[in-house]
């Protein structure tokens, strides 16, 4: 999939700031709030093997983590789109693309396989009449039935986000084109979201900004934070945050991860107040990040939620396929998930949920 390569003023800012978007994300507009007071206690409990954070995935199944072959974006109980990964019994890319879109339809063919607390976003009755994949163009052409137009205007952008991010989770898809009732869509039916050029991840997801940032003079960064289901199981949520432009977007990404979510009532912080960035180095498609935090002594495991959030956020960027993490200059880093982050780590499977 194509990762975000940087920031563009003007047209990209307009696309990212189409109406209703912040309200759909659970009240994202506002200054960065102070972190929850118990963040360090929870992280230390996790490091010591305690139960400070309930669960690490929606299933806890290691085989699902290994074999997931499809990711869909569903709405959680806080109104965010979150990636849910499936191990589906289909081997061809076209079949997986078709099923992934069908999972997005409310009360659709596969609604029984949505995790508790998550819901589809496309109008009930929407039919996925055809999906055409053009690997040479990295393009997916999606043909939907006329029922696709039966939605409330406030849902429009989230529908587009869900389709775009679901399909671009497939290895050979970077762009998406939408058709409805045998006609190419140049704009969405209700609010007129532009569709005249193919959609890609630069469209953003769960877009947010602080009050101090100007929409038209901003840089988008995709960040991952934790949230918890009603059953107390953790999962990751991506947000596209508009920030002040920077000539070092990688450092800016890490700074924003450390700053934490804009709305701490719905998303969890993954780093502590003491976390800082000591050094960043890139060699080829591998990025090495040296973090510093006085909470951690040499040899202690580091919370997997912090390490995975860093890997997920940085591998959204174009040209970064793997991340190696150091802590306080120590190159021997183990996560609480028993994974070795001293070696370059590729993007992990996100929120494994189901064998289909």
Q: What is the dihedral of CA 344, 340, 73, 8, to 10 degrees?
A: -30
The Cα–Cα gap between 325 and 343 comes to: 8
Whether the CB-CB separation of 225 and 312 falls below 8 Å is answered with: no
CA distances 70 to 202, 207, 290, 352, Å, are 21, 23, 32, 10
Q: Phi and psi for 12 in degrees, rounded to 5?
A: -65, -40
The Cα–Cα gap between 256 and 303 comes to: 18
Note the pLDDT of residue 59. Answer: 53
Neighbouring residues of 338: CB distance < 8 A, sequence distance ≥ 6: none
Across residues 204-226, what is the average pLDDT? Answer: 93
The Cα–Cα gap between 150 and 146 comes to: 8
Across residues 216-239, what is the average pLDDT? Answer: 93
Quick check: 95 pLDDT over 80?
yes
User: Taking all residues of the chain, what is their mean pLDDT, rounded to a whole number?
Assistant: 84
Note the pLDDT of residue 216. Answer: 87
User: Residue 197: how many CB atoms within 10 A of its CB?
Assistant: 11
Note the pLDDT of residue 355. Answer: 52
Quick check: 198 pLDDT over 90?
yes
Quick check: 18 pLDDT over 80?
no
Quick check: 21 pLDDT over 80?
no
């Amino acid at each position: 999939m194509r990762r975000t390569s940087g920031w563009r003023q003007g047209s990209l800012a307009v696309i990212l700031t189409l109406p209703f978007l912040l309200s759909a994300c659970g009240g994202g507009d506002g200054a960065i709030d102070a972190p929850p007071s118990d963040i360090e206690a929870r992280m230390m409990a996790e490091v010591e093997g305690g139960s400070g954070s309930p669960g690490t995935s929606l299933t806890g199944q290691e085989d699902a983590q290994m074999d997931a072959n499809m990711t869909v974006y569903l709405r959680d109980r806080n109104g965010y789109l979150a990636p849910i990964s499936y191990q589906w019994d289909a081997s061809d890319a076209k079949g997986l693309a078709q099923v992934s879109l069908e999972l997005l339809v409310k009360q659709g063919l596969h609604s029984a396989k949505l995790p508790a607390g998550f819901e589809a976003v496309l109008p009930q009755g929407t039919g996925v009449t055809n999906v055409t994949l053009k690997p040479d163009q990295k393009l997916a052409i999606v043909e939907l039935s006329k029922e696709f137009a039966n939605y409330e205007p406030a849902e429009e952008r989230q529908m587009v986000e869900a389709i775009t991010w679901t399909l671009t989770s497939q290895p050979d898809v970077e762009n998406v084109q939408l058709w409805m009732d045998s006609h190419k869509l140049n704009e969405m039916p209700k609010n007129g979201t532009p569709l005249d050029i193919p959609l890609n991840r630069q469209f953003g997801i769960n877009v947010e900004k602080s009050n101090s940032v100007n929409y038209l003079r901003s840089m988008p960064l995709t960040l991952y934070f934790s949230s918890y289901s009603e059953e107390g199981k953790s999962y990751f949520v991506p947000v596209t945050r508009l920030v002040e432009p920077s000539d070092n977007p990688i450092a800016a990404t890490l700074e924003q991860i450390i700053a934490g979510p804009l709305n701490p009532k719905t998303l969890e912080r993954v780093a502590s107040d003491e976390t800082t960035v000591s050094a960043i180095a890139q060699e080829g498609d591998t990025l090495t990040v040296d973090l510093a935090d006085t909470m951690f002594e040499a040899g202690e495991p580091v919370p997997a939620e912090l390490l995975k959030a860093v890997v997920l956020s940085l591998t959204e960027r174009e040209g970064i396929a793997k991340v190696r993490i150091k802590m306080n200059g120590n190159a021997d880093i183990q996560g609480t998930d028993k994974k070795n982050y001293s070696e370059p780590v590729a993007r992990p499977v996100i929120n494994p949920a189901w064998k289909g």
